[in-house]
Structure 1
Amino acid sequence: MVIALALLVLGGCTALLAPRMLARGSWAEREPVLALWVWQCVVAAVLLCCVLAMALSGAAGWHEVRGQVFAPAPQEVVEAYALHPDGERWAATLAGLLACGGLWTAVMLSREVRAARAIRRRRRAELLARVPRLPGEEESGGRLVVLEDARPDAWLLAGHTPRLVITTAALRRLEPRQLDAVLAHEQGHARARHHWLRYCAGALAAGFPRVPVFAAFRQQVDRLVELAADDAASRRVGRLTTALALVGLNEGRGVFGDPAGTRALVPQRVSRLLAPGRRLPTARRVRMTAAAAAIPAVPLLVAFAPGLSALGC
């Protein structure tokens, strides 16, 4: 039971302090892919703390769960965790609360996925109504859809067959290389499965809005995936071309005259593309990647420490 409480304290401290620590410096803007990896490892560590605490408290609260958790372990390992019968009621209560939290997370993730799929189905239906398929044209054919519209715009419809939708106004306004930048940007989203990352971040933030790390995770994911896709486009066509494509798609929406508005990220992205910061040295990126991967290992070490000590490891 002590180990379960220690895991909860570790998870709580990580959830409280990690957003403040990760917000320091401007390295995340220079390395958005690395920043996304670090955030995922931090969130995974917090969730792992809760899962391990639930397993250990469940083992302390119910003999049936204990038999499943410690089934392959020798008796000295079980004794090392000091699962006293006196604390069974409190352990069972804690395990039940953590199990409810896990179930709530699954419900919120399911809701996020269902809502996104409903929006996608509606947009596909609207797209089909505006751009009907020609006789003999297969539903899965063609990954590019040209939509008649006076406003320049482009977006990706995710799914089993991702489709890039671009308006005729965008085709008229953007040059061929700028259109390549738009395509590369959306392909970067699709290759990295950014929509699934957004689902998970949205589910955690909506399910536990008072947990700082989950709220910050959703905010940073929304920003970093766009920066990462911008980098993917700039590697193909260059930063200036990507910036010009971004300006061409957004200059008629008033986003550059309202830097504090809801679309404040757009001018920030353009400024970043035009005046990029220096990337971190390769050795430092490797060290940060390895250090982030080690973060989820800390809860595992805390959980398995008594057992390993009992075995003399």
Structure 2
Amino acid sequence: MLVSLVLLALGALAAVLAPRLVSRAKWPEREPIVALWVWQCVVAAVLLSFALSMVFSAAAAWQLVRGRVFAPAPRAVVDAYSLGTESPWPAVLATVLAFGGLWTAAMLTREVRGARARRRSRRAELLERAPLLPGEEPGSGERLVVLEGERPDAWWLAGSTPQLVITTGALRRLKGGRLDAVLAHEQGHARARHDWLLHCSSALANGFPQIPVFAAFRDEMHRLVELAADDVASKRFGRMTTALALVELNEDRGVFGPGTTPDAQLPQRVNRLLAAAPRLTPARRLRLTAAAALVPVVPLLVAFVPALRALT
């Protein structure tokens, strides 16, 4: 039971402290892809801590679970965990954590189903406004769709066959490399499958709004995927070209004037591109990546410490 409580405390501590520690760091602006990896590892560690705590609590509460979890383990290992107890708290804790796991799965399912429904609706609208050409098969590959529209806009439609959509207003306004930079930005989203990160982060944040790490995870995913896509475009067409493309594409939306808008991060993205801050050294990127990969290992070590001690 002690291991279960330690894991629960570890998960709760990480859920509260991780957003504060990561938000204070300055390097995510320079390395959004590494920051995306760090956030995923932190959230995985939190979820793994809660899942392992549930398993050990259930093993302490019910003999049936204990027999299945520790079936191949020597007797000394089972005794090291001190699972036998008459207290009702292990059963209560296991039930609460199991409900949390089921709720997480339900929220993720709802998020994915909602996204698929919206995607089907938008695909049907696109097919109505831009029918397939003779001989063109639906879902035959990545397709660039040009829509009639005065408002400059471009976006990507996720799915098994992502589609890039751009309006004629954007084609008239963006010229040369700026148009290519916008398309590269959207292709960066599609090829990195950023939609899955957004779905998972939204499901966790909507399902558990009281847990700080999940709300921060959602907010940072929405911000970092845009920075990562900006970097994809700037590597191919230059920071200045990409920044100008963002300005020209969004200048009629009022995002660069006073006041708060839904796209308030756009000025920050443009300033970041223009500032051209140097990337971290390869050695530091490697250290950050490796350190993040070790974060989910911590709850595993906590879970297996009694067993390792019993076997030595």
Name the structure 2 match of 1:114. Answer: 113
Name the structure 2 match of 1:296. Answer: 296
Within 2, Cα distance between the matches of 1:57 and 1:145? 53
Name the structure 2 match of 1:11. Answer: 11
Within 1, Cα distance between the matches of 2:105 and 2:307? 30
| Comparing 228-237 and 139-148, the one that deviates more | 139-148
Name the structure 1 match of 2:131. Answer: 132
The structural deviation recorded for 1:71 is 1.2
Partner letter of residue 115 of structure 1?
A: G
The structural deviation recorded for 1:205 is 0.2
Name the structure 1 match of 2:180. Answer: 180
Partner letter of residue 69 of structure 1?
A: V
Partner letter of residue 20 of structure 1?
A: R
Q: Structure 2 matches for 1:1-313, cutoff 5 A? A: 1-87=1-87, 89-141=88-140, 143-258=143-258, 260-312=260-312
Q: Secondary structure at the match of 2:24?
A: coil
1:259 touches 1:267 (CA, 8 Å); kept in 2?
no
1:153 touches 1:249 (CA, 8 Å); kept in 2?
yes
1:255 touches 1:263 (CA, 8 Å); kept in 2?
yes
Q: Secondary structure at the match of 1:72?
A: coil
1:105 touches 1:204 (CA, 8 Å); kept in 2?
yes
Partner letter of residue 205 of structure 1?
A: A
1:4 touches 1:52 (CA, 8 Å); kept in 2?
yes
Identity within the alignment, %: 66
The structural deviation recorded for 1:75 is 0.4
Within 2, Cα distance between the matches of 1:134 and 1:311? 68
1:178 touches 1:245 (CA, 8 Å); kept in 2?
yes
Within 1, Cα distance between the matches of 2:237 and 2:218? 29
Q: Secondary structure at the match of 1:155?
A: strand
Partner letter of residue 68 of structure 2?
A: Q
Within 1, Cα distance between the matches of 2:191 and 2:133? 29
Normalised TM-score (structure 1):
0.97
The structural deviation recorded for 1:72 is 1.2
Within 1, Cα distance between the matches of 2:32 and 2:231? 9
1:156 touches 1:186 (CA, 8 Å); kept in 2?
yes
Within 2, Cα distance between the matches of 1:51 and 1:76? 24
Q: Secondary structure at the match of 1:102?
A: helix
| Comparing 163-172 and 132-141, the one that deviates more | 132-141
Within 2, Cα distance between the matches of 1:149 and 1:262? 21
1:126-185 C-alpha deviation (Å, 9 max, x unpaired):
111211223443222461011010111000011111110000111111112112111211
Within 1, Cα distance between the matches of 2:133 and 2:229? 32
Within 1, Cα distance between the matches of 2:108 and 2:94? 21
The structural deviation recorded for 1:261 is 2.4
Instruction: Count matched residues.
Output: 311
Normalised TM-score (structure 2):
0.97
Q: Secondary structure at the match of 2:263?
A: coil
The structural deviation recorded for 1:248 is 1.4
Within 2, Cα distance between the matches of 1:234 and 1:60? 55
Within 2, Cα distance between the matches of 1:285 and 1:134? 46
Partner letter of residue 183 of structure 2?
A: L
Q: Secondary structure at the match of 1:149?
A: coil
The structural deviation recorded for 1:276 is 2.1
Q: Secondary structure at the match of 1:146?
A: strand
Within 2, Cα distance between the matches of 1:46 and 1:293? 13
Partner letter of residue 75 of structure 1?
A: R
Partner letter of residue 179 of structure 2?
A: L
1:256-276 C-alpha deviation (Å, 9 max, x unpaired):
114532211111111111112
Within 1, Cα distance between the matches of 2:99 and 2:16? 21
Unmatched tracts of structure 1, length 5 or more: none
Within 2, Cα distance between the matches of 1:259 and 1:29? 23
Partner letter of residue 277 of structure 1?
A: A
| Comparing 127-136 and 100-109, the one that deviates more | 127-136
1:39 touches 1:217 (CA, 8 Å); kept in 2?
yes
Q: CA RMSD in A?
A: 1.1
